[in-house]
Structure 1
């Protein structure tokens, strides 16, 4: 191709490395926009032989698709069926949806960034990287669309037949956190984590998250039944013993297990004492040491000492609740290693794994619609389970289905000077037209469209 020599010649007047890099990026974009445009036009031509003879050719109509390397404009053939409906063979072949201007890969990149930062930041990053002009509102629409695709792919994974196995270190942890929905209402998000614990850390992790607790529990049960021989295994359960995560509720996840060992999360257990006794009270540190040493007599003596320090009825009520909590859960405080399971690692990682979700869903005054929250949970969960790239690529990849031979002659003839050439065309003005509106008529663009349509 002549483009390399032309490009090198264009570098003569550049003054800095900054200008050089800017020129390289711009030229590469323009070159591939031109190449892909010619490719799609030739692809459209190859489809002519597949058109039924009773379909009528109408005309060629333009279309623009935004790729990560820039916008590509091309023309494709329009045909009319015998029933009077029009269609574009190229659009059908590529599975391009009408009135959608973003490529599948472009949308996958948007969704990957969108589940890590705000929609506005995502739009700014995409616009900077691809030289497009996408809005935060459009990013939100793409994120929800991609979440639907990922959800379908995840269901496909769950239906795959796998070999059930027996392990000695299966752990199931559960906990919940709250996020704010629109209208200042708070909603609980239920989070379960299944993994095999080792001294080196958890392996074969799988996480589940839902706003519907029953649905989350069912997903966990179905996964365990499909992947493990529970009737031959000892299963370890861990939680903070809060509502919905108490020992009885957690045991219901594995009704067919050979044996169940429930372990209360030591971090939450210690925090209960710190909140009641007070962090500034020296007894708080002694209570923590007694819990870590599993010394019940010393812990009860500390509570007796604290009772003698109480001066208000409110503190007395807190102490009574703490004693009840202690009597219910003390038998669950021993770690697996203290129960004779020497090869078990530490439990209680579900609390820290909330961070992958709460970093995106909470703080900065964030609130969510029900649909938006569900979409974000689906995408983040797929990333945490390391399925996101696979789900997006398998759900969006279509070009691999193409089996054509495109002539390279027109591409070889592309010159660098052609990329910068401005074609002049004469216009007689717009006689009639309309503005496509993808938002409500009360929006600024909707109001303008309404004014021009009068």
Structure 2
């Protein structure tokens, strides 16, 4: 500890400005953490090797590995072990849940993906590089987003396989659905299919919050509808529940589709979204438009009629106009502005990320990945930091020394061009 304290004091004294001081201290602290983590991982690898030897494994070789973390690059050496008749494994990689060829830590991936849901990939890379000791490109950010989207889907699949939770007895459940069109690659159109389920609305200042709201979204209609049906029948005991559905009447958002989700409920009422009805009324100018409007209202009056005028067993609150469309904003702000276009896979990954964060499931998604199944840490682990404190203090890098060539001739001469090239080399 005395060595580290001495190094901190020396860094503070040798710094000319507060920015220089803070940057040097940050580099020192990160270097200390990376060193400690590297020693800890190698210590853990030795303990894992001892346990695996008891199971008949032998050490084949030792290989190095580097992982990019928020604090920078962490390097360590671990053992590859093999048992006769079985494929070789790295016990430490298995313990840390490091996948083959994985270059980034789970926390770094989580933070990068979070940032990417609110700004473009280039801006995300710039932000992460400024606030950490990493050096990411926008292509790397895209790759992390795609991996995180796959992780969200895997977590949802695991949730479906788990035992059902205790059902919630809600008197009324509201379910809404609508689509959001995006610009796809090669002049194609993509659509985000969204569903939201909630038990009512609560006024908070000038805004309204959904009570126990849950959101489903995907670029695939069947996937969204399947998840909505799973959630409805897993979360609620619908036999004593009134279900109020709302849609614009487009393909896949009519009464019949919602009736499947509400199967087994006490009472189901479907409502045509008021926002779309008002838009049709306001867009009526010519006589032929009036005739079309009359036919539309006649054909859909069963769903256009206000809920408080229908024969229902209980009084329910009306669904506000454009309620589902308001939930589009978090997707449209990220995915529609500035002429952005998406591939099917990339759009699906981004939709899954935004939805997981909106449902406050983001920590659970990465928490599922981070679970460890084996913890053979012994009392020797407590001595790791003591070893780190006794290490030789970090020697700060002095940087590249710049020099010049005295040409004593014109800049266009061969020697002048060489001198100019050497002067520009530090920029490359």
Question: TM-score scaled by structure 1?
Answer: 0.76
Q: Deviations over 1:234-266 (max 9, x none)?
A: 211112223322334333431332222222222
**Structure 2 SS opposite 1:276:** coil
2:329 alignment partner, one of 339, 350, 355: 355
The ranges of structure 1 where at least 4 consecutive aligned residues each deviate by more than 6 angstroms after the TM superposition are none
Corresponding residue of 2:99: 97
Matching residue of 2:159: 157
* Displacement after TM superposition at 1:75 (Å): 2.3
1:44–1:76: 8 Å Cα contact kept in structure 2? yes
- Tell me how far apart the structure 1 counterparts of residues 378 and 96 of structure 2 sit (CA, whole Å): 13
The answer for the alignment partner of 2:116 in structure 1 is: 114
Aligned to 2:235: 227
Measure, in 2, the Cα distance between the counterparts of 1:215 and 1:88. 36
Contact 1:115 1:379 in 2 (8 A): yes
Question: For 1:336 and 1:45, how far apart are their aligned partners in 2?
Answer: 68
Aligned to 1:6: 7
Following the alignment from structure 2 to structure 1, what is the Cα–Cα distance between the partners of residues 292 and 32?
Answer: 72
Deviations 1:208-246 (A, max 9, x none): 112332332232222222222323222111122233223
Q: Measure how far apart 1:342 and its partner are.
A: 5.3
Asked whether the 8 Å contact 1:276–1:319 carries over to 2, the reply is yes
Per-residue deviation, 1:55 = 5.5
Query: Is contact 2:42-2:78 (8 Å) kept?
Result: yes
Matched with 2:21 is 20
1:65 aligns with 2:67: yes
Question: What root-mean-square deviation, in Å, do the aligned CA atoms of Structure 1 and Structure 2 show?
Answer: 2.8
Q: Within 5 Å, which residues of 2 pair with 1:321-360?
A: 321-333=292-304, 335-336=306-307, 344=317, 346-347=319-320, 348-360=322-334
Pick from 123, 139, 142: which aligns with 1:140?
A: 142
Distance 1:182 1:363 in 2: 15
Residues 44 and 89, structure 1, Cα contact 8 Å, conserved in 2: yes
CA contact (8 A) 2:112 2:128 kept: yes
1:302-313 to structure 2, matched below 5 A, reads none
Q: CA deviation at 1:406?
A: 3.9
- In the TM superposition, residue 36 of structure 1 has moved relative to its aligned partner by 0.9
Unmatched 5+ stretches in structure 2 = 204-208, 398-428
Structure 1 equivalent of residue 393 of structure 2: 418
Are 2:97 and 2:370, in contact at CA under 8 Å, matched by a contact in 1? no
Cα distance in 2 for partners of 1:240, 1:255 equals 20
Change beyond 3 A, Cα 1:83–1:22:
same
Change (3 A) 1:79 1:247: closer
Deviation at 1:121, TM superposition (A): 2.0
Question: Is the Cα contact below 8 Å between 2:95 and 2:374 reproduced in 1?
Answer: no
Cα deviation 1:357-413 (Å, max 9, x = unaligned): 222221222222222122122211111111111111222344984533344545325
1:248 to 1:72, Cα distance in 2 relative to 1, 3 A: closer
Report the TM-score, using the length of structure 2 for normalisation.
0.80
Instruction: Tell me, in whole angstroms, the C-alpha distance in 2 between the residues paired with 1:161 and 1:87.
Output: 35
Partners in 1 of 2:238 and 2:86 — Cα distance?
A: 60
Moved more, 347-356 or 331-340: 331-340
Contact 1:169 1:344 survives alignment (8 Å): no
Gaps of 5+ in 1: 278-314, 423-454
How many residues were matched structurally?
385
**More divergent stretch after superposition (380-389 vs 196-205):** 196-205
Q: 1:412 to 1:329 in 2, by over 3 A?
A: same
Cα separation, 1, equivalents of 2:73 and 2:239: 57
* Aligned 1:23-422 pairs, distance under 5 A: 23-52=24-53, 57=59, 59-79=61-81, 82=84, 87-158=89-160, 159-200=162-203, 201-277=209-285, 315-333=286-304, 335-336=306-307, 344=317, 346-347=319-320, 348-398=322-372, 401=375, 403-409=377-383, 411-413=385-387, 414=389, 418-420=393-395
Alpha-carbon deviation of 1:170? 1.0
